[in-house]
Each structure stands twice: as structure tokens, then as C-alpha cells.
Structure 1
């Protein structure tokens, strides 16, 4: 049995906010709905879809050319994130997408933290790579240097 839902947030492998998707009942009931990633689809839900797409359009990078320009500037130099670390190089906690987005913002670019994908949790000093989805067709692989500080 399939359940029809409206995604309220981007779900990797499923769709973006505002998409109407059909998923299995268990996936909807146990994962998407409790985490507020989706709402049940109703006939009146089209108004909500329009609001979500308008908000997404406002925050999204307008054209592919702009996305390529942002990608090139992000890949030109590594993003430096300063965190508290112990003597052996282990971090107190982990580097989050918010930390990376703040470091990128300090460099002059603006990136939505929800577009940053960290493969493995970053829990040590050194160089790491993260993916940033800038546009539907454009993503950037950015080098992140985690250094002791703060």
C-alpha cells in the first residue's frame, strides 16, 4: 500500500520540498511524518505546495551559471573551520553543517546548511571533503580544513 505525501524538507533520494511523492506506508508512518519531513497529501495541500516552492525559489541560486560561479569560488580555496580540540587532535564533538556554512559565510559566500552533505562525521583535525548541492544539476566538492582554535 502506498501513501501520498507532500515533502516539507529535502529528502535525499526522494525529492525536494514541495514535491508530491508516493511512499510505502511504513516509511511514511515511521520516518517521514515523525521527523516532520512530510505532511499527508490533501486536495487543499496545493496551497501549501505553492508556498513551499515560492520560499525555495527565493533561497535557491537562480541559474546554472550562477551555481557554476559559486562552485568555482568554493572549490578555489579550502574552507577553514576552527574548533576546540584535545592534545591528540580529537575534537570535542564534531564539525556540523552549521559550522561549515558559517565558515563559508565568513569567506563571503552564502550556502544553506541543509545543502551540505558530510559523508562521515568529522571528528578529527585535518583535511576533509564535503559535498554541497548548489542547484539541481550542480554540486561542489569542497575541501574543509579543520584546525584547532576557538
Structure 2
């Protein structure tokens, strides 16, 4: 039986792929679980419209991410933190603190999008990556200063 996948299914394909499977597998597993539909002409058109909508949505998200990346480029955040001997911080600067500092500057960015290569435990300027979109990543500087 030929079916068209409406969800990604590991080992078989991605959305929109037409595959040939045994009748029982299609009727008893793929179709009831909403993974596939019979490969009729109308179902193929339906899946193509879903794919085109998804593509447009991803393109809009990418454009928004590129615009935000342009605004963030060259940004230097100042974060004050308690410091012990030899310029070492008590604890470390976390992605939550960076997200809060970005929010104060007017940029609402989820802390999960902030990528720290290693924990920031020293005073000074550090480079931090922010992944705004799977294809858009921007670097900002974080200036950690001692708290008075």
C-alpha cells in the first residue's frame, strides 16, 4: 500500500515522502497514529499545502532572526557580579543572568538560546553565542565587572 507521511518517521522518511508499506502496517499502525495517509491525489495535495505553509513560516522566522541578529551584532553587555580573590567570581555568570541583562536592553531572548562554551568565572570580556534560529547565530560580548 502506498502512503504519504504527514510526520517525520525515523527509518522511513520525512513529511511528504510517499512510501510503499505492507497493508497491515499502514492500516493498523501508520494511519491510526496520524503518521501517514493513503497516497490519494487529494491527500498528496493536502500534504503539499502543509509543506508550503511550513516553509513560509520557517522563512518568516529566519527573517526575524536575521533582523534581530543585526541589532545584536557588536553589543556589549555589562554584568556586575561578586568577586573574590584574584578576580575570580563567586559562582559563575549564567545564561539566565545574560538573558536578564538582554531584557534590560530591550531584547527578549530565551535563556535556552544562549550558548556558553564554558562557564564564565572570571572578570573581563567574554564572547557568548546566541542561536536565534537553526541557521542564525550571533556573537555578543559580555563584560563581567566586580560588584562594589
Coarse TM-score class (shorter-chain normalised): 0.5 to 0.7
Structure label with greater radius of gyration: 2
Alpha-carbon separation, structure 2, partners of 1:97 and 1:45: 38
Shift of 1:73: 1.6
Gap change, CA 1:80 and 1:65, over 3 Å in 2: same
Instruction: Tell me, yes or no, if structure 1 residue 99 matches structure 2 residue 97.
Output: yes
Unaligned runs of 5+ in 1: 1-18, 23-42, 47-59
Which residue in 1 is equivalent to 2:61? 63
Which residue in 2 is equivalent to 1:76? 74
Looking at secondary structure, tell me which structure has more helix per residue: 2
Unaligned runs of 5+ in 2: 1-7, 12-31, 36-57
TM-score, L = length of structure 2: 0.58
Which residue in 1 is equivalent to 2:14? none
| 1:82-115 alpha-carbon deviations (Å, 9 max, x no partner) | 1111242110001111011111111100111011
8 Å CA contact 2:93, 2:120 repeated in 1:
yes
Instruction: Tell me, yes or no, if structure 1 residue 145 matches structure 2 residue 148.
Output: no
Alpha-carbon separation, structure 1, partners of 2:9 and 2:77: 36
Alpha-carbon separation, structure 2, partners of 1:21 and 1:109: 37
8 Å CA contact 1:75, 1:143 repeated in 2:
no
Alpha-carbon separation, structure 2, partners of 1:97 and 1:125: 16
CA RMSD in angstroms comes to: 2.8
Shift of 1:70: 1.1
Number of residue pairs matched? 100
